[in-house]
């Protein structure tokens, strides 16, 4: 007996339930946009500018004590987060440092005063200037917008013989995926830096991958079953590709869960982004791209019927 | 000591006192860009045989004088490895110099 994850004759009603899931996704996207403008992303130094200093202590300490020790430095707002060995290693972010050249020395002097000689050491200093971070932010947004539009145009062109609406379905699904992932990053407050951006661009590429699989099957079935409605053809296509969708996404998601659990603090934001993005990308291929195409096609037919009367 | 690299000038200095272990000396070294925007700390484990009489000395200048030009030549790879080690493994990158890998301490 062969292993079958999905029965070959499965016939779940995806298209019939689309209104509920489109409504749910709309609410989630609105919430993500509101959160983005109210709470905001936790930008890394790449996008916010400033300096990151990694400190290692001989003795246990905490963020409040470090902030007190460094308060005399006059370096603007200080953010301290645990990093590595709990209570012994920390990442300190400074938004604006007037004299960066002596920052490392001044920090070690301040720590010596507070904790004793050589109690705290600076392991790493990385600084991104305000102009560079502004440029990076602008380029990041440009990359996301370009990738989304290009993917939509590519799919619209490839499926033009069935309908131009496939392109709009793909773009709306992509925007949905990006918003869901961004919303998840806002809620989790994981750091958004260049590696997280790369993960988000990967999500855009992967999300459309599943949409293409479903759309291609719709194109195949639509040419064979011209008498059936697009909704029926679409539902059959989704059911027929369900096994491949679950296996492809499932294997990728399994790897990402391992990466998230074992990858450590540096990889956590990008692993989280990829995991949420891959799950959402699979969902949107079924419940967003398809309904958008159906909606577009129904408007075209209504307009055509109205015009002929 | 100051070295010239493709990323600008960096000062090479000791970040902690010399440590002595069985058969080797461990130097904790800081590479810091002269304008302060970047600093990376790493460790060099040097076999006593390579240092000769300097192995018992607390004066680190001879170690820095020999390591500086070596770092300048292999700067990008050393920097990359050091950053990866600090960020990902949360420990200082350690370069071992011994009979098999004499580096700048070859006679």
Q: Please tell me if residue A92 touches chain B, with a CB cutoff of 8 Å.
A: no
A145, part of any domain? yes
Distances (CA, A) of A234 to A23, A151, A220, A249, B4: 19, 21, 10, 20, 63
Q: B90 pLDDT exceeds 80? A: no
The reported pLDDT for the residue numbered A1 is 47
For A178, the token pair is 């990006």
Task: Please tell me whether residues A66 and A157 are part of one structural domain.
Answer: no
pLDDT band per the 50, 70, 90 thresholds, residue B54? low
Task: Please tell me whether residues A55 and A28 are part of one structural domain.
Answer: no
Burial of A161 (0-12, 13-18, 19+ CB in 10 A): exposed
B107, part of any domain? no
List, in order, residues 6 or more apart from B14 with CB less than 8 Å away. B27, B28, B29, B30, B60, B64
Model pLDDT for residues B5-44, shown as the tens digit of each residue: 888 899 999 988 888 888 889 999 999 998 888 899 999 9
A308, part of any domain? no
Which of B32, B87, B90 comes nearest A104 by C-beta? B32
The reported pLDDT for the residue numbered B83 is 87
Domain end position, chosen among A106, A128, A150:
A128
H-run or E-run covering A270: helix A264-287
Nearest CA in chain B to A91: B87
Q: Closest Cα to residue B64, out of B102, B30, B35?
A: B30
Tell me how far apart the alpha carbons of residues A47 and A39 are, in angstroms, rounded to a whole number: 16
Pairing, β B93-97 against β B38-47: parallel
The reported pLDDT for the residue numbered A153 is 86
- A contacts of B39 (beta carbons < 8 Å): 104, 122, 124-125
- A contacts of B15 (beta carbons < 8 Å): 121
Determine the structural domain holding residue A63 and report its residue range.
50-128
CB A78 within 8 A of CB A94: yes
For A244, the token pair is 């491949």
Q: Strand, helix or coil at A309?
A: coil
Q: Closest Cα to residue B27, out of B75, B59, B1?
A: B59
CB A47 within 8 A of CB A137: yes
How many residues can be counted in chain A?
309
For helices A194-224 and A130-158, angle between their N-to-C axes, nearest 10 degrees: 10
List, in order, residues 6 or more apart from A185 with CB less than 8 Å away. A41, A42, A192, A196, A269, A272, A273
Task: Please tell me whether residues A183 and A81 are part of one structural domain.
Answer: no
Nearest CA in chain B to A85: B90
CATH number for the domain spanning A90: value is 3.30.70.3220
Tell me the β-bridge partners of A127. Answer: A51
Determine the structural domain holding residue B58 and report its residue range.
2-99
Q: Closest Cα to residue A121, out of B24, B86, B8, B12?
A: B86
B106, part of any domain? no
Q: Closest Cα to residue A44, out of A91, A101, A113?
A: A91
A207, part of any domain? yes
For A21, the token pair is 């899931």
DSSP alpha helix (H) spans, A39-79: 45-48, 63-70
pLDDT > 90: percent of chain B:
27
CATH number for the domain spanning A170: value is 1.20.1640.10
| Phi, psi angle pair for A158, to nearest 5° | -65, -30
Domain end position, chosen among A89, A107, A128:
A128
Tell me how far apart the alpha carbons of residues B95 and B77 are, in angstroms, rounded to a whole number: 12
Residue B36 to residue A127, Cβ atoms within 8 A: yes
**Cα torsion through A52, A126, A95, A36, rounded to 10:** -80
DSSP alpha helix (H) spans, A13-129: 18-38, 45-48, 63-70, 103-115
pTM over 0.95: no
Distances (CA, A) of A33 to A11, A13, A128: 35, 30, 27
Model pLDDT for residues A28-83, shown as the tens digit of each residue: 999 999 999 999 998 887 888 888 898 988 888 888 889 888 888 877 778 888 87
Per-position pLDDT tens, chain A of length 309:
455 666 767 778 888 888 899 999 999 999 999 999 999 998 887 888 888 898 988 888 888 889 888 888 877 778 888 876 677 888 898 877 777 778 888 898 899 888 888 788 888 888 887 778 888 888 888 998 888 888 888 888 888 877 778 888 888 898 999 999 999 999 999 988 888 999 999 998 888 888 888 888 888 887 787 777 888 888 888 888 888 888 888 899 999 999 999 887 778 899 999 999 999 999 998 888 888 888 887 776 655 555 555
Q: Please tell me if residue A124 touches chain B, with a CB cutoff of 8 Å.
A: yes
First to last CA, chain A: 58
What is the total count of domains within chain A?
2
Residue B88 to residue A54, Cβ atoms within 8 A: no
The reported pLDDT for the residue numbered A253 is 93
DSSP characters for B64-83?
A: HHHHHHHHHHTHHHHHHHHH
A195, part of any domain? yes
């Amino acid at each position: 007996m062969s292993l079958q994850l999905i029965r070959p004759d499965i016939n779940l009603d995806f298209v019939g339930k689309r209104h509920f899931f489109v409504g749910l996704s709309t609410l989630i996207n609105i919430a993500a946009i509101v959160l983005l403008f109210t709470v905001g992303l936790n930008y890394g130094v790449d996008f916010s500018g400033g300096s990151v200093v990694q400190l290692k202590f001989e003795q246990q300490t905490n963020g409040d004590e470090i902030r007190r020790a460094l308060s005399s430095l006059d370096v603007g707002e200080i953010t301290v987060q645990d990093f590595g060995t709990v209570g012994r290693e920390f990442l300190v972010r400074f938004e604006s440092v007037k004299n960066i050249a002596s920052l490392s020395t001044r920090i070690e002097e301040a720590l010596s005063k507070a904790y004793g000689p050589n109690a705290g050491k600076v392991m790493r200093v990385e600084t991104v200037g305000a102009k560079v971070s502004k440029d990076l932010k602008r380029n990041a947004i440009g990359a996301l917008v370009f990738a989304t539009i290009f993917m939509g145009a590519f799919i619209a062109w490839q499926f033009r013989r069935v309908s131009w609406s496939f392109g709009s379905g793909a773009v709306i699904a992509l925007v949905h995926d990006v918003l869901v992932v961004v919303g998840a990053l806002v809620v989790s407050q994981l750091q958004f830096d260049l590696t997280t951006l790369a993960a988000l661009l990967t999500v855009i590429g992967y999300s459309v991958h599943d949409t293409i699989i479903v759309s291609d099957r719709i194109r195949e079935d639509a040419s064979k079953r011209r008498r059936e409605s697009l909704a029926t053809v679409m539902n059959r296509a989704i059911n027929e590709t369900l096994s491949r969708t679950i296996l492809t996404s499932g294997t990728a998601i399994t790897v990402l869960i391992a990466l998230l659990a074992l990858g450590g603090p540096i990889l956590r934001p990008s692993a989280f982004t990829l995991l949420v993005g891959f799950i959402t990308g699979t969902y949107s291929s079924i419940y967003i791209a398809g309904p958008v195409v159906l909606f577009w096609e129904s408007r075209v037919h209504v307009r055509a019927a109205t015009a002929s009367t | 000591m100051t070295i010239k690299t493709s990323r600008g000038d960096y000062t090479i200095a000791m970040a902690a006192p010399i440590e002595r272990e069985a058969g080797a000396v461990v130097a904790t070294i800081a590479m810091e860009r002269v304008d302060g925007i970047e600093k990376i700390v790493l460790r060099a484990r040097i076999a006593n045989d390579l240092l000769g009489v300097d192995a018992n000395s607390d004066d680190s200048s001879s170690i820095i004088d020999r390591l500086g030009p070596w770092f300048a030549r292999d700067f990008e790879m050393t920097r990359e490895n050091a950053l990866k080690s600090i960020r990902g493994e949360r420990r200082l990158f350690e370069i071992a110099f011994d009979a098999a890998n004499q580096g700048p301490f070859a006679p």
